[in-house]
Amino acid sequence: MLYLKILAWGLVAGLVNSAAMAVLYGNPWVARIHAADQEANTAGPSAGAGSRNFGAHFLGTQLEVYVVTIGYAWLHPLLPLHGLIGALALALLFAALRTCAPVWALWLRATHSPRYLAVEVAAGVLSSVAITLTLYPLM
């Protein structure tokens, strides 16, 4: 029943990921960067702060966590690097895959500050590390 284990592991990893992102985005320094960026980019659509948007964001993030969970379950046993080093190597791979295209697209638009882009990269790396370090002892 591997699929049931992946559902459970992904749920746990998703909760840890949500907590890590709450800590990052709840940081006053990061909040100031996001507020300044939103003021500078008022022409674009606003993400809003309603509960519907929070739920939709959480479900979208959880879907991404399940994709990472499946990738981790598949790739970690195949790595020549075992243990925690292998888990961290996968975290870096997942971080690169999850952040390069979105941050590149934001950078090409030239409407976001370098500090905002740095926060987005940090969020992708922190998220990937949080997910893989959660999955490491579970699998």
Q: What is the pLDDT of residue 51?
A: 57
Per-residue pLDDT of the chain (139 residues; tens, 9 = 90+): 888 999 999 999 999 999 999 899 888 998 888 888 888 775 455 555 555 677 788 888 999 999 999 999 999 989 888 889 999 999 999 999 999 998 999 889 888 888 999 999 999 999 999 999 999 998 8
pLDDT at site 90: 94
Q: Give dist(CA 70, CA 105) in Å, integer.
A: 26
Residue 67 exposed, middle or buried by CB count within 10 Å (0-12, 13-18, 19+): middle
Instruction: Give the global pTM.
Output: 0.84
Residue 49: per-residue pLDDT: 53
Rounded CA separation 41/54 (Å): 21
